[in-house]
Structures are given as structure tokens and as C-alpha cells.
């Protein structure tokens, strides 16, 4: 019987499971959306139990569609929404509160206090990150401070913290394994990416008991075995990486200077910098791209909080379309004489601005502005934000030659959006044949560790391009459009407001 690999892709709005066959082709997919909770302005939560239910449902569905049993699966690879925080009871496995999602901004005031007190330079030196509510550490502190009895229980070792990968590993192994990988650990504000260890001084700064923290492993490692009672047979868990790191692997960006950008709920661009830990002078993040066989590869990362989520808002909030796929065709019908800009700062602005208090705005509206112009502005905003990230990366990275951007995620299926991206970047954009690169990266980690998938070099050679988008816009038009975007962002930043 052919051995399959199961990838669990636990995202921000849905959970997906994909069964890959021995040729690394998709044999079966299961996907289930789950509820987004918004208790207050700027707060975003998920129910961990609903996440768990969506994951198990997706796995069973994917196995059924692949006509495979659990015994046919050689290994599981997990990739997940990063920075989202779950704390649960070690005895019962039950969460003490809803998960606080990476988009959540409730700790913005605390982050501002830490910055004011001068802590950010040291935090950045140790973690490569900035003091922003995006990251996990301040969310952990909030839960310990606001859930009755949580801090005392945490200090006694009764509670466990994890990003979503860790919570899933705990549940899959029946509570036998409390572990994460280096990529997810690197996003917590608690992990020193130089020493590759939890940092006692950072834990003290954020008042997080070390007893809460999971063990940190390589991305391809032994994360225990999924209990046989769940799916019919025991399955080893051999690969784990945060979603953006898994996409970097799935895009085979293994050489320094290679660049990928993923367009999902948000947009995240990672530039492989090899063994060089490049400090950013332009408000980017220095992060762990992946860690294999104890060797750490670093990356520069730019994070955009709202990309596909803006399309989702147009569909669900404004109800301008019934399906997200309609946004591109609608944008094509927009009046080209209107210069409408959407700055989708629904939960603040990420890199390179890092303004947690900024909120979304639309500029340039006239009486003639309608659904088509709004849809066009939302799609264009993703390209403008990507350009901001890449310009910052060019200033930080002193590598040789021009870099071709490899793209993936749901939004890249739109030819219109990808062409505009190439036009605004004034650079080629490559779309791969397999768009599920996040799941593919997690699957490769597990399959390679299990010995049923090839090593890095052969996997990289198998990467295939579906289409290359070359820039077609003239320089004068590009310059004018970018100037309009820059003006819109300036008007949105809270630092510019009186």
C-alpha cells in the first residue's frame, strides 16, 4: 500500500487537512470554517474546542476523499496560525479561556508602556521582534492576569501554554506531548533566536512562568504519536512549522535571497537570509525561517495583518459580492479615472508601520464611487502593502541580484491581482502549480523525516511554476499610484493625527 502524508493546516478562519500521495500530489482535502469572535473593538478570539473539532472533522473528511485509512499515513505534518495563544489545564486538557488570536490588539497599551520604559531594543536583540500586541507573550500575560486563579495555577505547573500547533499536538497525543517547534517559539516574545532557548529575562519581563512553556524541537522532529483511538491507527507526528515558515519551505525558498509572499487572511513576506541573522533597520522582523538537524536558517519578515480579510469584509460586511472569487471580475469593471485607496488597518497596521491604534480608511470617494471601485481598492491595497515590505527588505538585505517573488495563498488565483502586484513592484511574480504551499511545506517536513519523501535538494528541483507575471505598467503611472497610496497611509497613521 502506498504511504501517504497528512498535512494539518490550521488557519485563522478555517482548518484544512490535506492527504498527499507518494508523488506529492493532493489525494484528498477536508476543510471547515469556524467562528470568529469579536468581544470588543480590536479583540479577536477563537474557541479552541471548535478549532479541535474542525481539525478532526477535516482529517476524517480528507482521509475519506483519499480513500485512505489512518494505517496508510506515514506521518503527520502540522502548520498553524502563528502567535495565537491557548492556555489549558494539564489534567483535563480543557482551555481556561478562548484563544486570543494573532490579530487581537487588547495588549496595545501594555506594549506601549514597555516601549516607553525602554525595553524594546533589548527585546528586539533577543527575539528579532518588536513590542507589538501581534505577538504571543503579552497575550499570555493578559490571560494570566484576567482569568481568575490562572496565575497561581500556572506557577504551580497546573496549566500549559501553547500556540495552536502545541494545543493540537497535546490533543492528538492524548496529553503525552507538550511541544512546539523553533519557528512558532520564535514568535512568542519569549524565545531567544540567538541561543535557541526560552529566555528567562524575557519571561521575567512579561511575567510568564517558565513552567507554562512547551519543549522546543526542530521543524522535522519527533512530536509524538496521534492516538490510535482518534482515526483508527496510531500516526507519528514528524513535522511542525508556523504557517509562513511552512509556506517558505513549500515554495522551496532554501537559498539566501529567495523570497515568498503568502496571501491569506493577512499577507506575509519572508526573505531567506541563510545563517545570517540580519537585524532590520526598517521595522521588519528577524525570525527563524526553519531549523533542521539543529541548524537554524533565518529570515527577514514583513507582516500585513489584513489581505484576504478585506475581501472577506467586502463579502460578509458590505455584502457587495456573494463569493470572494467575484471580487476580481468586479474590480475589472471599475472606473479607471477614479483614484480610490483603501488602507485596511482594521486591526492596526503591521510592517513597516507598526501602528496598533490605526484603523481602516477609504480615500478618494466621489458620488460616482460604487462597489467596483471599493473592490478594486481592496485588492490593490494588498499590492501596495507588499511593495512597502519589499522596499524595506531591499534596504536591509545586501544580497546580490534581483529577487523574483514566489507567491501563494488564496488570493493569488486572481490573475488581475497578480498582474497589478507585478506592475506595482516593477518585478516578476511567480505563481507555482501547487498553491497549497503551506500544507505542502508541513507535509515535506513530515515526509522527509519519515523517509518517504525526498531531501531538500530534490524537493527544491520539483518546484514548478504555473505562470510568471511580468510588469506592464509604465513608470509614470506607477509613480503616481504609489504616491497616492503613500498619502493615504500617512493620513491613516495615528502619529499623523492631532
User: Is residue 359 marked as binding?
Assistant: no
User: Is residue 15 marked as binding?
Assistant: no
User: Is residue 409 marked as binding?
Assistant: no
Cell of 385: 502593502
CA dist., res. 82 & res. 97, Å (int): 18
CA dist., res. 74 & res. 5, Å (int): 6
Cis-peptide into 311, omega within 30 deg: no
User: Is residue 28 marked as binding?
Assistant: no
Calculate Rg over the CA atoms of the chain: 22
Alpha carbon dihedral 168, 171, 176, 177, in 10-degree steps, equals 10
User: Is residue 82 marked as binding?
Assistant: yes
User: Is residue 291 marked as binding?
Assistant: no
Residue with cell 513549500: 250
Which residues are paired to 14 by β-bridges? 33
The stretches of 326-474 forming alpha helices (DSSP H) are 327-332, 371-396, 415-425, 437-450, 456-461
Residue 38, helix vs strand vs coil: coil
Which residues are paired to 359 by β-bridges? none
User: Is residue 14 marked as binding?
Assistant: yes
First-to-last C-alpha distance (Å) of the chain: 68
User: Is residue 243 marked as binding?
Assistant: yes
CA dist., res. 425 & res. 471, Å (int): 8
The stretches of 207-345 forming alpha helices (DSSP H) are 228-231, 243-250, 308-316, 327-332
Strands (E), 39-72: 45-46
CA dist., res. 204 & res. 200, Å (int): 6
User: Is residue 308 marked as binding?
Assistant: yes
Task: Find, among 440, 436, 439, 421, the residue nearest to 466 by Cα.
Answer: 436
User: Is residue 244 marked as binding?
Assistant: yes
Helix, strand, coil percentages (3-state) for the chain, rounded to 5, are 40, 25, 40
Burial of residue 357 (CB within 10 Å: 0-12, 13-18, 19+) is middle
User: Is residue 134 marked as binding?
Assistant: yes
Cell of 53: 473539532
User: Is residue 261 marked as binding?
Assistant: no
User: Is residue 410 marked as binding?
Assistant: yes
CA dist., res. 209 & res. 197, Å (int): 15
**Binding residue numbers for sn-glycerol 3-phosphate:** 12, 82-83, 134, 243
Binding-site annotation: residue ranges for ADP: 12, 16, 265, 308, 410
| Residues annotated within a binding site | 12-14, 16, 82-83, 134, 243-244, 265, 308, 312, 410
Annotation: binding site for glycerol? 82-83, 134, 243-244
Binding residues for ATP: 12-14, 265, 308, 312, 410
Amino acid at each position: 500500500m502506498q504511504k501517504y502524508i497528512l498535512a494539518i493546516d490550521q488557519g485563522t478562519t478555517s482548518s484544512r487537512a490535506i492527504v498527499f500521495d507518494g508523488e506529492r500530489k493532493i489525494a484528498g482535502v477536508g476543510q471547515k470554517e469556524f467562528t470568529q469572535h469579536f468581544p470588543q473593538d480590536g479583540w479577536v478570539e477563537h474557541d479552541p474546542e471548535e478549532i479541535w473539532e474542525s481539525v478532526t472533522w477535516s482529517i476524517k473528511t480528507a482521509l475519506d476523499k483519499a480513500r485512505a485509512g489512518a494505517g496508510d499515513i506515514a506521518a503527520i505534518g502540522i502548520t498553524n496560525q502563528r502567535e495565537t495563544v491557548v492556555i489549558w489545564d494539564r489534567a483535563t486538557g480543557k482551555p481556561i479561556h478562548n484563544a486570543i488570536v494573532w490579530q487581537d490588539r487588547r495588549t496595545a497599551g501594555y506594549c506601549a508602556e514597555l516601549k516607553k520604559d525602554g525595553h524594546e531594543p533589548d527585546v528586539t536583540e533577543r527575539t528579532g521582534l518588536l513590542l507589538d500586541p501581534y505577538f504571543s507573550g503579552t497575550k499570555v500575560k493578559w490571560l494570566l492576569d484576567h482569568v481568575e486563579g490562572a496565575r497561581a495555577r500556572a506557577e504551580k505547573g497546573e496549566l500549559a501554554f501553547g500556540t495552536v500547533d502545541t494545543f493540537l499536538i497535546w490533543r492528538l497525543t492524548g496529553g503525552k506531548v507538550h511541544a512546539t517547534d523553533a519557528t512558532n517559539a520564535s514568535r512568542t516574545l519569549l524565545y531567544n533566536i540567538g541561543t535557541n532557548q526560552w529566555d528567562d529575562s524575557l519571561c521575567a519581563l512579561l511575567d510568564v512562568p517558565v513552567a507554562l512553556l512547551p519543549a522546543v524541537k526542530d521543524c522535522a522532529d519527533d512530536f509524538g504519536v496521534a492516538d490510535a483511538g482518534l482515526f483508527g491507527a496510531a500516526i507519528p507526528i514528524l513535522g511542525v512549522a508556523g504557517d509562513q515558515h511552512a509556506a517558505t519551505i513549500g515554495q522551496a525558498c532554501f537559498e539566501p535571497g529567495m523570497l515568498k509572499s503568502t496571501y491569506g487572511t493577512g499577507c506575509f513576506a519572508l526573505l531567506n537570509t541563510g545563517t545570517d541573522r540580519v537585524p532590520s533597520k526598517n521595522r521588519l522582523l528577524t525570525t527563524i525561517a526553519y531549523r533542521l538537524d539543529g541548524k537554524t536558517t533565518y529570515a527577514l519578515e514583513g507582516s500585513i495583518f489584513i489581505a484576504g480579510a478585506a475581501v472577506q469584509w467586502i463579502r460578509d460586511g458590505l455584502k457587495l459580492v456573494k463569493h470572494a472569487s467575484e471580487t476580481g471580475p468586479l474590480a475589472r469593471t471599475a472606473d479607471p479615472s477614479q483614484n480610490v485607496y483603501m488602507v485596511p488597518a482594521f486591526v492596526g497596521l503591521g510592517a513597516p508601520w507598526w501602528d496598533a491604534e490605526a484603523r481602516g480608511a477609504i480615500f478618494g470617494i466621489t458620488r460616482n464611487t460604487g462597489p467596483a471601485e471599493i473592490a478594486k481598492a481592496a485588492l490593490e491595497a494588498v499590492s501596495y502593502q507588499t511593495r512597502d515590505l519589499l522596499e524595506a527588505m531591499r534596504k536591509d538585505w545586501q544580497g546580490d541580484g534581483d529577487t523574483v517573488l514566489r507567491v501563494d495563498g488564496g488570493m493569488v488565483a486572481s490573475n488581475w491581482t497578480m498582474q497589478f502586484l507585478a506592475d506595482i513592484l516593477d518585478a516578476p511574480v511567480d505563481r507555482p502549480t501547487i498553491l497549497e504551499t503551506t500544507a505542502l511545506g508541513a507535509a515535506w517536513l513530515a515526509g522527509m523525516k519519515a523517509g518517504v519523501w525526498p531531501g531538500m535538494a530534490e524537493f527544491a528541483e520539483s518546484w514548478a511554476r504555473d505562470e510568471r507575471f511580468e510588469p506592464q505598467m509604465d513608470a509614470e503611472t506607477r509613480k503616481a499610484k504609489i504616491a497616492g497610496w503613500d498619502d493615504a497611509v500617512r493620513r491613516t497613521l495615528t502619529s499623523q493625527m492631532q
